[in-house]
Amino acid sequence: MQKNEINLTGRHAIVTGAAQGIGFAVASRLLASGATIALWDRDAEELAAAKNRLAYPASVSTHAVDVTVAAAIVEAAAAVNELRGGIDILVANAGIAGPNHKLWEYPHEEWLKVVEINLIGVYNCCRAVVPHMVEKKYGRIVNVASIAGKEGNPNASAYSASKAGVIALTKSLGKETANLNIAVNCITPAAARTRIFDQMSQEHIDYMLAKIPRGRFLEVDEVSSMVAWLVSEENSFTTGAVFDISGGRATY
């Protein structure tokens, strides 16, 4: 598939959950568009392997951080800001699916873990990065939610609730930064066949596929194409919005 050119030359981006899957695809696309990239993920070895798979290694830095640890995220954001002389772009992608259970059978600690990573993690990243964007009077943020946050998937109450929270957080933050030249939007992808599937039952995977009118799972490069425009300077008006990429599944 031929990609439209997006010019991100001179822009400095952070991508969370960047060692694989959607995060890696987004990082690769932004790098190809001219941005420098800070890869954030929990696994230092996977980060190093991811960097080795990317072109232009001088434009890539790696930071082994847990998005649930607020102090570590503040420190990592400050390190990127110092290294690159600013932060222009944040793609808050890090997340987990969690196990599949009925809500009343869902293990309490697992439910909290999903919300902590998927929602509180996005909050921590936005909270740490926005002040640097305010100082620069420019910023583009894309939070990765999910179609599950719109519709609510059965046997995935923690995931669905956390992604619904990401949508609401995006709308609130987008209004708070609207007059600061900082655009904050989110995307609601359908399922993409990445390693997150390892956390799901086959029954749940089959359910998700059956709900997609396109009749297939999302490709990670399709996500990165949408994100590339959303984090570009061309996206100069839209903020606090939700961009569907669900293959026709979304009803609103």
Catalytic positions: 159
- String of DSSP letters for the chain: -PPPP---TT-EEEEESTTSHHHHHHHHHHHHTT-EEEEEES-HHHHHHHHHHSS-GGGEEEEE--TT-HHHHHHHHHHHHHHHT---EEEE--------B-GGGS-HHHHHHHHIIIIIHHHHHHHHHHHHHHHHT-EEEEEE--THHHH--TTBHHHHHHHHHHHHHHHHHHHHTGGGTEEEEEEEE--B-SGGGGGS-HHHHHHHHHT-TTSSPBPHHHHHHHHHHHTSTT--S--S-EEEESTT----
Structure tokens at 122: 């996005």
Residue tagged 């305010």 (tokens): 134
